[in-house]
């Protein structure tokens, strides 16, 4: 595992961050994940770095004022190997490729102290000078964090600062694999800021986490007999473990170890270390609470991308159950933008403006869905899927999908986009039926989606909007559901034909919405009936009375022309679509 370790050579400020292969990041004075706020010689955004699994590429931004020194020479682009470092201002950046040791068996302690966290909080410090001030400073620093890694860094530093005879501090996380549970080091720090903590005591961690108690072990300084199966961390003769629940109910622990405290006054070594337990528990509980708050804020921010606030109001504390995948009667809306793929190929030199335009247009679509109490499902490139009927069991907004679709069409047609000669166009397909909807993913990453027959059908129906030249199409089930609303007139929907869509076995009756009374609509409906009955000569005569601009007219005439004006043997009136 590779880490970047940054330290201020003029103070004790520092951090270390785990590196993800092939994931670029930026270091600078104001960057969120890799901040160097203590050094004014570091620009707001100074350099972009990328770890490829073997080396770290460093590229300085042109706008960065001060140079980056690598091997004592100013360099703007270079590669760093583990063990090497570079300098900006008075800050040193060291690339490390090390792993801390996993918990190991230790010999039984000479002294063990086990205290319930509630009892620790009730007890007063025996030796208070400096503790209260440090705790006040700690709370101020920790509550100002808006990033979990930054919170972890400050927590570990505060523990080392507050417990002066501690050498190492490790944050462990419980992980289960193949029915075997173990505690894995996920972050650590040491007194010198550079060395990697040694192995922690497996028995101490197990005792603390299983009992949910704060546990202190003090070992004897006597040397172990040769051939012993137990380990001893060089120079460390005490350790403590504080069990934690951090982020969204992750189980873990804080583990501190160091050299025996020098006794002062009438305090015994255990009494002095009990003060340290209290300090560590206060820091640990503060960290755990703030960590959960950050995780909840992040989860809420993620959920706000998918839900309108009204859908999340009144949720019980069991959010996982409320949003868990389950079957429901859904109305699915699938909206795809027209012409953006071709435009990016034609104007590849203007990808950034087109990306910005696509983002703005997608925001218009998602806003319309959320405004009608819908849920944002997957994004498929420049397409958006929204749905109604979940997480609430009943469809609270029966016309939500239709209203959202009409708003999208109206808004896009009237939007002035600088990068296109014409306003953006969208095709929208709506289908209804039984499907599965829910939130899937990990505690930290959220994805809300729906899957099932109506989802596939809505996407296929959307694909039909292009050959039909009609921006909004629905299936029979969606039309019937929407007609249950008393405000919808009986003639609001117009049937366009019976289609067997690509990849689907059963035919689908396709409808659109009649925005205005159309004088020629009866001629089209008669023509469609003649077409489906195989009376194609009469269908052609009637279609001549329908405006050329009406796309379904052209599609029917093309179908007739493909068969040279004669309906084929076994004709059932179903139009086959072989492409999506």
Residuewise pLDDT in 10s, the chain (580 residues): 788 989 898 887 888 888 888 888 999 998 877 889 899 999 999 999 999 989 999 999 999 999 999 999 999 999 999 989 999 999 999 998 876 666 666 667 777 888 888 888 887 777 666 777 777 878 888 887 777 888 888 899 889 888 888 888 999 998 887 778 888 888 888 887 766 776 788 888 889 999 999 988 887 655 544 444 434 454 677 889 999 988 877 889 999 988 765 555 555 666 667 788 888 998 998 898 888 878 777 766 666 666 665 566 655 456 667 778 889 999 999 998 876 555 555 555 554 555 566 667 777 888 888 888 888 887 766 788 999 988 876 555 668 899 999 998 888 765 544 344 455 578 999 999 999 998 876 545 567 889 899 999 999 999 999 999 899 999 999 999 888 888 888 788 999 999 999 888 899 999 999 867 788 999 999 999 999 999 999 999 999 999 998 999 999 999 999 988 898 888 999 999 887 6
- Dihedral sign, Cα of residue 259, residue 135, residue 34, residue 200: positive
Residue 148 lies in a domain: yes
* End residue of a domain, out of 490, 515, 540: 515
DSSP code of 197? P
* End residue of a domain, out of 299, 327, 344: 299
Same domain (yes/no): 478, 413: yes
Same domain (yes/no): 62, 122: no
- CATH code of the domain covering residue 20: 2.60.200.20
Residue 103 lies in a domain: no
Residue 371 lies in a domain: yes
Same domain (yes/no): 147, 278: yes
Q: Which residues of 373-387 are buried (b: 16+ CB within 10 A; e: fewer)?
A: bbbbbeeeebbbbbb
Q: Which residues are CB-contacts of 446 (< 8 A; sequence separation ≥ 6)? A: 299, 302, 303, 306, 439
Residue 104 lies in a domain: no
Same domain (yes/no): 75, 172: no
Residue 106 lies in a domain: no
Same domain (yes/no): 380, 504: yes
Same domain (yes/no): 159, 228: yes
* End residue of a domain, out of 299, 319, 339: 299
Q: Does residue 60 contact residue 76 with C-beta atoms inside 8 Å?
A: yes
Residue 250 main-chain phi, psi, to 5 deg = -75, 135
Same domain (yes/no): 487, 566: no
DSSP secondary structure string for all residues of 428-476: EEEEEEEEEEEEEE-SS-EEEEEESHHHHHHHHHHHHHHHHT-SEEEEH
Number of domains in the chain: 4
> Which residue from 71, 495, 128, 481 is spatially nearest to 278, judged by alpha carbons?
128
Same domain (yes/no): 39, 175: no
Give the predicted TM-score (pTM) of the model.
0.56
- CATH code of the domain covering residue 506: 3.30.70.1230
Q: How far is CA 505 from its chain centroid?
A: 36
Residue 105 lies in a domain: no
Residue 102 lies in a domain: no
- CATH code of the domain covering residue 126: 3.30.450.40
Helix axes 453-468 and 551-562, enclosed angle (nearest 10) = 90
* DSSP-derived pairing of the beta strands 25-27 and 446-451: unpaired
Residue 77 lies in a domain: yes
Same domain (yes/no): 319, 295: no
Separation between Cα atoms, residue 440 and residue 325, nearest integer Å: 7
Same domain (yes/no): 130, 255: yes
Same domain (yes/no): 385, 506: yes
Separation between Cα atoms, residue 169 and residue 190, nearest integer Å: 6
Domain that holds residue 549: 519-580
Same domain (yes/no): 288, 315: no
């Amino acid at each position: 595992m590779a880490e970047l370790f940054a330290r201020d050579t003029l103070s004790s400020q520092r951090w270390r961050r785990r590196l993800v292969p092939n994931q670029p990041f930026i270091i600078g004075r104001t960057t969120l994940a890799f901040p160097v706020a203590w050094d004014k010689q570091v620009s707001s955004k100074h350099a972009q770095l990328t770890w490829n699994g073997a080396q770290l590429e460093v590229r300085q931004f042109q706008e960065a004022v001060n140079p980056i020194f690598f091997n004592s020479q100013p360099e703007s682009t270079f590669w760093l190997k583990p063990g090497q470092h570079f300098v900006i201002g008075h800050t040193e950046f060291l690339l490390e490729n090390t792993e801390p040791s996993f918990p190991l068996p230790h010999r039984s302690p000479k002294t063990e102290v086990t205290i319930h966290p509630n009892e620790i909080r009730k007890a007063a410090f025996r030796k208070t000078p400096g503790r209260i001030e440090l705790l006040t400073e700690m709370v101020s620093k920790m509550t100002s964090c808006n990033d979990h890694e930054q919170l972890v860094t400050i927590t570990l530093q505060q523990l080392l600062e507050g417990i002066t005879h501690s050498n190492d501090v490790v944050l462990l996380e419980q992980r289960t694999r193949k029915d075997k549970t173990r505690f894995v080091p996920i972050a650590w720090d040491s007194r010198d800021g550079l060395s990697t903590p040694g192995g922690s005591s497996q028995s101490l961690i197990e005792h603390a986490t299983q009992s949910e108690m704060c546990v202190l072990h003090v070992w004897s300084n006597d040397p172990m007999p040769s051939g012993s199966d137990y380990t001893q961390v060089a120079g460390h003769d005490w350790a403590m473990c504080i069990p934690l629940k951090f982020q969204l109910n992750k189980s873990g622990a804080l583990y501190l170890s160091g050299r025996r405290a020098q006794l002062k006054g009438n305090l015994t070594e255990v009494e002095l270390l009990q003060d340290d337990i209290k300090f560590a528990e206060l820091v640990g509980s503060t960290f755990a609470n703030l960590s959960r708050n950050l995780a909840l804020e992040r989860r809420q921010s993620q959920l706000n991308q998918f839900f309108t606030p009204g859908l999340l109001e009144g949720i019980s504390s069991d959010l996982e159950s409320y949003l868990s995948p389950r079957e429901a009667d859904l109305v699915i809306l699938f909206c795809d933008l027209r012409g953006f793929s071709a435009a990016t190929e034609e104007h590849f030199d203007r990808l950034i403006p087109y990306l910005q335009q696509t983002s703005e247009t997608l925001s218009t679509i998602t806003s319309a869905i959320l405004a009608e109490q819908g849920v944002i499902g997957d994004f498929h490139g420049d397409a958006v899927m929204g749905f109604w009927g979940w997480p609430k069991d009943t469809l609270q907004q029966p016309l939500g999908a239709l209203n959202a679709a009409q708003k999208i069409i109206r808004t896009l047609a009237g939007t002035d986009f600088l990068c296109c000669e014409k306003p953006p166009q969208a095709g929208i397909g709506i289908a209804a039926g039984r499907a599965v909807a829910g939130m899937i993913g990990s505690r930290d990453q959220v994805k809300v989606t729906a899957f099932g027959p109506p989802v596939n059908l809505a996407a296929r129906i959307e694909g039909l909007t292009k050959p039909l030249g009609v921006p909004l199409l629905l299936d029979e089930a969606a039309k019937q559901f929407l007609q249950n609303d008393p405000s919808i007139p009986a003639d609001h929907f117009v049937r366009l034909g019976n289609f067997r869509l690509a990849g689907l076995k059963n035919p689908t009756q396709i409808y659109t919405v009649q925005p205005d009374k159309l004088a020629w609509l009866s001629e089209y409906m008669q023509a469609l009936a003649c077409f489906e009955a195989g009376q194609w000569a009469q269908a052609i005569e009637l279609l001549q009375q329908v405006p050329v601009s009406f796309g379904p007219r052209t599609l029917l005439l093309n179908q007739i022309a493909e068969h040279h004006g004669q309906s084929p043997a076994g004709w059932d009136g179903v139009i086959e679509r072989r492409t999506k």
